[in-house]
Amino acid sequence: MKKLFMANWKMQLLPHEATNLASEIVRRLGRGVSNTEIVLAPSHDALALVAEKIADTNLMLGAQDCFWEDKGAYTGEISPKELKELGCKYVLAGHSERRGKLGETDEMVAKKVKAILRSGMTPVLCVGESLEEREAGYTEEVLRREIISALEGLDLDITDMIIAYEPIWAIGTGRAATLADVELAHGFIRSLAGSKARIIYGGSVDSKNMSSFLRAKDCSGALVGGASLKADEFEAIVRSK
In this structure, the strands spanning 36-41 and 221-224 are unpaired
List, in order, residues 6 or more apart from 108 with CB less than 8 Å away: 68
Closest by alpha carbon to 159, among 194, 113, 135, 133? Answer: 194
Nearer to ligand PGA, 123 or 202 (CB): 202
Q: Does residue 44 have an active-site annotation?
A: no
The residue ranges that bind ligand PGA (CB under 6 A) are 8, 166, 171-172, 202-205, 223-227
Q: Is-contact 153 118, C-beta < 8 A?
A: no
CB of 69 to ligand PGA, least distance (A): 25
Q: 52: burial class by Cβ within 10 Å (0-12, 13-18, 19+)?
A: exposed
Q: Does residue 95 have an active-site annotation?
A: yes
CB of 171 to ligand PGA, least distance (A): 4
Q: Is-contact 163 198, C-beta < 8 A?
A: yes
DSSP 231: H
Catalytic residue from among 95, 104, 186, 235:
95
Nearer to ligand PGA, 151 or 224 (CB): 224
Nearer to ligand PGA, 191 or 211 (CB): 211
CB of 95 to ligand PGA, least distance (A): 6
Q: Residue with CB nearest ligand PGA?
A: 225
Angle between helices 231-238 and 15-29 (to 10 degrees): 40
Q: Is-contact 4 40, C-beta < 8 A?
A: no
CB of 73 to ligand PGA, least distance (A): 31
Nearer to ligand PGA, 103 or 153 (CB): 103
CA angle, 208 then 213 then 218, to 5°: 165
CB of 126 to ligand PGA, least distance (A): 7
What are the b/e assignments for 38-50, b being 16+ CB within 10 Å?
Answer: bbbbbbbebbeeb
Nearer to ligand PGA, 51 or 223 (CB): 223
Catalytic residue from among 97, 133, 146, 166:
166
Catalytic residues, which ones? 95, 166
